[in-house]
Amino acid sequence: MEYLPKGFSTKKARQVQQSLVDCVIEADDFTIPPKCVCGLDVAYIEQTAIGAAVLISFPELQLLEEKIIVTQTTVPYIPTFLSFREYTPLSLAYEALSYTPDLCFVDAHGRAHPRRLGAASHFGVLKKIPTIGVAKRMLCGEIESNLKSFDKIVLNNEVVGARISTKPGCNPIYVSVGHRISLKTAVDMTLKCITKYRLPEPTRRAHQLATNARIELKKNG
């Protein structure tokens, strides 16, 4: 199954998304509780992609391993098609880890996407691994504030994600199913990975790692 259509175009990319979207499993299909979780993020310097992966123990949230990869991308940034740009660096960083995590947190959207297939879902389906999408901004849908534990993100009468306020006075985060997990468990796992920061430790550390690597690359030319 092709993740990156040859001769990239939004038409071909949309067809790939449509072929993958029905493969997303929105039910818990992994070891609960997990023993270790992974955080994944990507940073860029023009066409250079920096993939970051961190492995963290659960529930202790202690750092076990971190990996950085640097690769080139020929896919442009196009809103709602970001997963085609990010799949390769995410995949290379994930594969560089010495251990296979039980669950991955991806700094991206999952089901909370106009075509229900953000990078967290795209990556999870192709890798056949459980993933959670954790994003800093809402991409689509409307908020329905009628649940005690989280606010629902609703798109076309379908619940596609959750808005969570993790720290007083801080902007909320947006959690959605990536693959092989339920929304309830995705929210629960995200909250269990919150420490003193707004973001859950897996994506916070991965974002920090990718950002620091980008700064070093820029400094060294």
Report the Cα 221 to chain-centroid distance in Å: 29
- pLDDT of the residue at 142: 96
Q: Is the peptide bond before 59 cis (omega within 30 degrees of 0)?
A: yes
| CA–CA dist 44, 32 (Å, integer) | 34
- State pLDDT tens for residues 69-123: 999 998 889 999 999 999 999 999 999 999 999 999 999 999 999 999 999 999 9
- pLDDT of the residue at 1: 39
| CA–CA dist 78, 55 (Å, integer) | 29
Nearest to 104 by CA among 72, 80, 133: 133
Question: HSE-up of 150 (CA within 13 Å, CB side)?
Answer: 23
SS3 content of the chain, % helix, strand, coil (to 5): 30, 30, 45
- Give me 203's structure tokens: 């994506």
**24-219: what CATH class?**
alpha beta
The CA-to-CA distance between both ends of the chain, in Å, stands at 37
Per DSSP, helices labelled H in the chain are 10-21, 82-95, 119-127, 183-192, 201-219
Beta strands across the sheet bearing 131-135? 63-72, 48-57, 36-45, 103-106, 131-135, 173-179, 158-164, 151-155, 142-144
Q: Indicate the domain borders of the chain.
A: 24-219
Query: In the chain, which residues have pLDDT < 70?
Result: 1-7, 146-148
- pLDDT of the residue at 2: 45
Work out the burial of residue 192: count CB atoms within 10 Å of its CB; fewer than 13 is exposed, 13-18 middle, 19 or more buried.
middle
